[in-house]
A and B are shown apart, each in its own frame.
Chain A
Amino acid sequence: MSGALRFGWLGEGRRTALHALLVHDASAWSRDWWMSHSAASIDVFPLDSWREELNPSDAIVWSLGEGELKIEAHLGSAALGAHLAGASRSQPSALADAVGRKAIADFVERLAKRIGCKAIGPKSVDPHEGMYQAKWGGYMATVSLGAHHFSLAMDRKLADLLVPSRHSGLPALTPRTQAIAGAHVSLEVFLPFGTTALSNLDDLKVGEVLVADAPLNAPMEVRLDGTEIIALAVLGQSGHSHTVTLTAIS
């Protein structure tokens, strides 16, 4: 299972938008939490597969609306807390652990705020549950803070909430009358020419004149799509174009 799972099925446009969103939130979060904050040291690397878990019990899961987010600090929350506070990594303490957990909770809360809900968690994670599960296939990334980093994975529901699909909503309906009113039809203007013998047509040559049955004052037929006569009209001209003036209409 682990090797087969792919994470690329969120459209590229939405992955890019999600990446930009995480970069923005990680930078703002880092400014508030990391003593040695440096914008140049913050980065978010999208992942196509989850890195090997060093300590699965360090992973924590949060519910954000209908979606779920899983976060795992690289060397545990105590090491993260120590890194943020600028303390030596070799001295993780209960205080550093509390800082690390609180900082992660704040990061999650920032994401929750984006979708207008409160983050619920952290929830305990089944130690047998690895990251290689379909539900974590929405988006995976590593948030880098200089020498330290933490990884996150979200399910498709959370990805959809953070970066909604443009096509997720129902298409806007146009009233039928409005749609029909704007539709175009073709009106063809016919001269009721009359009939002629087939032999006349057979012998017809360029330059010859076919005389119509219709007198010069005969009304033209205005036909809808070339079939039904909907109006009668007289022929005229305006500038270089033919015109017709309606004399009767159905």
Chain B
Amino acid sequence: MNDDVITVESIPASSDAKEAASLVKRSLSLLGHVNVKLDVVVGEATVSIDQLFALAKGNVLTLDTELDEPIQVRLDGKTVALGHLVAVGDQFGIKISEIL
């Protein structure tokens, strides 16, 4: 048993990551036509349970985001970009200000 030496070749983690990234890139090019649902979070308000049950039509909630503050674009619950809400004709649009 002691004579059996197993040599394990170490692969640098960075090369793993690069390989994985290129694999995803290749897959994305294959899946480019697939539609994904995006969520845009305009802001957040914190209320007590008491207030929550007292909410009624016409009530106004002030959100924690300022008008000039970028809002989040989420894909599958994860923020993938930040941007500003704009009007594009009759539609809402997001002008991207930050993306990875």
In the complex, which residues of chain B have a beta carbon less than 8 angstroms from the beta carbon of A186?
44-46
In the complex, which residues of chain B have a beta carbon less than 8 angstroms from the beta carbon of A207?
95-96
Instruction: Return A248 CB to nearest CB of chain B, in Å.
Output: 7
**At the interface, yes or no: A238 with Cβ under 8 Å from chain B?**
yes
In the complex, which residues of chain B have a beta carbon less than 8 angstroms from the beta carbon of A236?
60
How far apart are the CA atoms of A245 and B61 in the complex, in Å?
A: 6
In the complex, which residues of chain A have a beta carbon less than 8 angstroms from the beta carbon of B23?
none
Partner of A215 from B33, B46, B92, B95 at Cβ < 8 Å: B92
Query: Are B63 and A242 in touch, CB under 8 angstroms?
Result: yes
Query: Are B44 and A216 in touch, CB under 8 angstroms?
Result: no
- Mark B18-56 against chain A: 1 for CB-CB distance below 8 A, else 0: 000000000011011111111111111111111010011
Partner of A249 from B38, B55, B77 at Cβ < 8 Å: B55
How far apart are the CA atoms of A177 and B62 in the complex, in Å?
A: 26
In the complex, which residues of chain B have a beta carbon less than 8 angstroms from the beta carbon of A233?
61
In the complex, which residues of chain A have a beta carbon less than 8 angstroms from the beta carbon of B45?
186-187, 189, 244
How far apart are the CA atoms of A92 and B80 in the complex, in Å?
A: 94
Query: Are B96 and A204 in touch, CB under 8 angstroms?
Result: yes
Partner of A197 from B32, B44, B61, B94 at Cβ < 8 Å: B32
Instruction: Return A39 CB to nearest CB of chain B, in Å.
Output: 56
**At the interface, yes or no: B8 with Cβ under 8 Å from chain A?**
no
How far apart are the CA atoms of A242 and B85 in the complex, in Å?
A: 11
**At the interface, yes or no: B91 with Cβ under 8 Å from chain A?**
yes
B-facing residues in A221-250 (Cβ within 8 Å): 222, 224, 226, 230-231, 233, 235-238, 240-249
Q: In this complex, what residue of A is CB-closest to B25? A: A202
Task: Give the contact-size bracket for chain B.
Answer: 35 or more
How far apart are the CA atoms of A188 and B39 in the complex, in Å?
A: 11
Instruction: Return B80 CB to nearest CB of chain A, in Å.
Output: 7
**At the interface, yes or no: B3 with Cβ under 8 Å from chain A?**
no
In the complex, which residues of chain A have a beta carbon less than 8 angstroms from the beta carbon of B96?
204-210
Query: Are A241 and B66 in touch, CB under 8 angstroms?
Result: yes
Query: Are A244 and B61 in touch, CB under 8 angstroms?
Result: yes
How far apart are the CA atoms of A180 and B49 in the complex, in Å?
A: 7
Q: In this complex, what residue of A is CB-closest to B38? A: A193
Query: Are B62 and A243 in touch, CB under 8 angstroms?
Result: yes
Query: Are B61 and A246 in touch, CB under 8 angstroms?
Result: yes
Query: Are B63 and A189 in touch, CB under 8 angstroms?
Result: yes
- Mark B71-93 against chain A: 1 for CB-CB distance below 8 A, else 0: 00101010011010111101111
Query: Are A201 and B36 in touch, CB under 8 angstroms?
Result: yes
In the complex, which residues of chain A have a beta carbon less than 8 angstroms from the beta carbon of B73?
193, 210
Task: List the interface of chain B (C-beta within 8 A of A).
Answer: 28-29, 31-50, 52, 55-68, 73, 75, 77, 80-81, 83, 85-88, 90-99
Sampled A-B contacts (27; CB under 8 Å): A181-B49, A183-B48, A185-B47, A187-B46, A187-B52, A189-B42, A189-B61, A189-B63, A190-B39, A191-B40, A193-B38, A194-B38, A196-B38, A198-B32, A199-B29, A204-B99, A206-B97, A209-B95, A212-B92, A215-B92, A238-B62, A240-B67, A241-B43, A242-B42, A242-B62, A243-B60, A246-B59
Task: List the interface of chain A (C-beta within 8 A of B).
Answer: 180-191, 193-199, 201-202, 204-216, 218, 220, 222, 224, 226, 230-231, 233, 235-238, 240-249
